[in-house]
Amino acid sequence: MGISVGLGLTNNCNLSCPHCYRPTEDIGNLTVQDIRTVCDSLDVGSTNLGTGENILNPEFFPIVQYLQDRRIKTSLTSNGYSVSQVPDEMLKRFHDVEFSFDFGTREGQDAFRGSGAWKMAIDSMERCLTLGVEVTILACLMRINYDRMGEIAKLAGSYGVNFRVNVYQPVRTDRFSLTYENFWDGFRQLFDAAPIVTCTEPIVNVALGWRRLSGPQCGRSSIRVTPYKKVLPCVYWPTPALSLKEVPEVRDRIWETPEFQKTRAIPEVCRSCEWVQNCWGGCASRRILRGDLYRPDEFCPIVRGEQLTLNHQVTEEKELLHAANVCTTIVNPS
C-alpha cells in the first residue's frame, strides 16, 4: 500500500487566515531534489500537497510533474489560488483536490479569510468538477464554526462533492480551540447532515461504536515533510523528528525513531479501557500540544464517566488519499 506522505512544499500563502498552523517567521520551500530524496528513500504510496498555497513554491510545476511521472497518487489542498494557476492537463492528473471552507456562505468565508476568498474557492472548485476531478470540501472544526457543520455540508451537497472535517489543533493559538461540548455538538450536526464515508478520529470512532481502527495512523504509516525540510510523524507534531537529510539513512526504520515512537504512547489510565486497542488514548498530537502526552484525549467521554453515542449513517467508502492516514472524518452529503 505504501506510505502516505504529506508534503508542505511551502509555507508561503496568498492569504493570512487567523486559524492557520503554518509558520510565518520566514518562508521555506522544498525542492525537486528534496522530493526525490523522500521518494527514493521510502516506499511512498501517495502524497498530499498542503500547508501553504503550493503554487507559490518556485519549483511547484517540476515537483508535480516528477510525482505524476512516477505515478504516485497525489492530492492537492488549496484555498483555490493554486488550482487557478494549474493547466488543465496537469490538474486532471491529480487524484483528488480539496478546497478549504470555514463557513458555508460567502459572507462567513469572506469575513474570516478576506474579501474574494469565497469566489476564488468556488470558481476553482467548479473548474475541477468540469474537468472531472474528484473534489472534497475541507473544513477545520473550530469554536467559531462547530455549529455550522450542517451549513457547510449543504454547500458540499449542492455541488455533489465530499466533505472532510479536521479538528482544530492549537499549534499556534488556543483562540479557536473547541470545548468538550463544542466538539460533540459539531460531530452530531455533521452526522445529522450526511452519511459517513470514513472516520479515523479515534475518539469519535469510540462514540460511533466502531472497532475499525488499530490506533491512529500518524507516525505508523504516514509522515509529514515541512517546508523547512523537517520530517514529522503528524502535521501538528510540535517537535521535529528528523531532518530530511537523515531520511536516506534511516529509511524504513523511521517508525522506530524517538518522535515517531512517542505517537504510539498510551496513557496509563487508558490501558484498562475496552477501547484501548482501537483509539490508543486518542489523538497523540492533541495530547502533546496540551502539554501531557500521557493524559487521555480531552474529548474522551469514557474518562468522564459518560456514555455517549452518535446517531449516524454510513455510505460507500471512496479511495480518497486522506481517508485512512490522518485523524479525520469524511462524509458525503450528495
C-alpha closest to that of 315 among 306, 307, 304, 323: 323
For the segment 265-269, the average pLDDT, to the nearest whole number, is: 95
Question: Is-above-0.75 flag for pTM?
Answer: yes
CA distance 227 to 310: 38
The three three-digit cell numbers of residue 122, written as one number: 468556488
pLDDT of residue 215: 78
* Model confidence pLDDT, tens digit, residues 111-139: 999 999 999 999 999 999 999 999 999 99
301 has pLDDT over 80: yes
Contacts of 71 (CB under 8 A, 6+ apart): none
Closest by CA position to 58, among listed 227, 232, 244: 227
Averaged pLDDT, 222-230: 94
- pLDDT value for 271: 96
CA quadruple 32, 38, 16, 23: dihedral sign: negative
> What is the pLDDT at residue 17?
87
How much is the pLDDT for 51? 87
Complete edge-to-edge strand list for the sheet that includes strand 222-225: 196-199, 329-331, 162-167, 135-141, 96-100, 73-78, 44-51, 3-10, 222-225, 230-232, 242-243
pLDDT at 324 over 70: no
pLDDT in tens, 86-110: 999 999 999 999 999 999 999 999 9
Q: Which pLDDT belongs to residue 20?
A: 87
Domains of the chain as residue ranges with CATH: 3-265+310-331 (3.20.20.70)
Q: Which residue has the higher pLDDT, 275 or 218?
A: 275
Instruction: Identify which of 242, 164, 227 has the alpha carbon closest to the alpha carbon of residue 201.
Output: 164
Average pLDDT over residues 253-282: 94
